[in-house]
Structure formats: structure tokens, C-alpha cells
Amino acid sequence: MHERAPAFSGSDGQSYSVGTYVDDSPDGQGRYGAALLFVRWSDAGDRPVGHLETDYLFRGATPADALAPLLALTLQDVKRHLDDCIEKQGGGRR
């Protein structure tokens, strides 16, 4: 609707937007991996200052097959993945 990525407040108090990515080529088993990429924004919100990414969440025989279930995640699921990434990085509430 707004032509911008969904934005979230992470468990570390920082602002993040989210996008998806899929491998350009298949792995040794012929599958493409798909994951979420979270861009962390400056406190002013005017520039990116870092990023986090999930491990592959889905794999498929084609990029579209890998991407489809990723796009079907709810915003609550995406937020849980963001907070998991923050926790793995050693972040948390400021």
C-alpha cells in the first residue's frame, strides 16, 4: 500500500525495516535458500547503520518456491525472527 518495507521496533529499542532475499544459485542439492534481512536505522531514522539476517528459513526447487512461504509469514512471525536475531547477536533492551 505504501510501497515501503514493513518497519519494526526491535527488542533492543532500535528501528528496523525488513526485506527478503533468495540465493542467486541453488545449493548442492539443487535448492534455493530464502531468508529475512533486517536493516537497522539510525536514531534519527535517516540512514541505515547496520543489518541482521536470519538463517535460511525456507528452501525450494526454484527461487519462487523458496520465497513463497517467506512472504506468507505474518508480521508477528517476522517480529519474532527479528527479536531472535537481536538475541543471537547479544542485544536486548537498552
Place of cell 521496533: 9
**Distance spanning both ends of the chain, measured CA to CA:** 32
Report if residue 1 sits inside a domain: no
What are the CA-CA distances from residue 47 to residues 42, 56, 85 (Å)?
Answer: 6, 26, 20
Q: What pLDDT is stored for residue 89 in this prediction?
A: 85
pTM given for the model: 0.86
Identify whether 35 is part of a domain: yes
Tell me what pLDDT residue 46 has.
83
> Total structural domains in the chain?
1
Q: What is the pLDDT of residue 6?
A: 62
Report the pLDDT value the prediction gives residue 90, as an integer from 0 to 100: 80
Is residue 2 situated within a structural domain? Answer: no
Q: What is the pLDDT along the chain (94 residues), one digit of tens a residue?
A: 445 566 888 999 999 999 999 999 999 999 999 999 999 998 888 889 999 999 999 999 999 999 999 999 999 999 999 999 999 988 655 4
Note the pLDDT of residue 93.
Answer: 54
Report the pLDDT value the prediction gives residue 57, as an integer from 0 to 100: 98
Is residue 17, in this structure, part of any structural domain at all? yes
**41 part of a folded domain:** yes
Domain that holds residue 77: 7-88
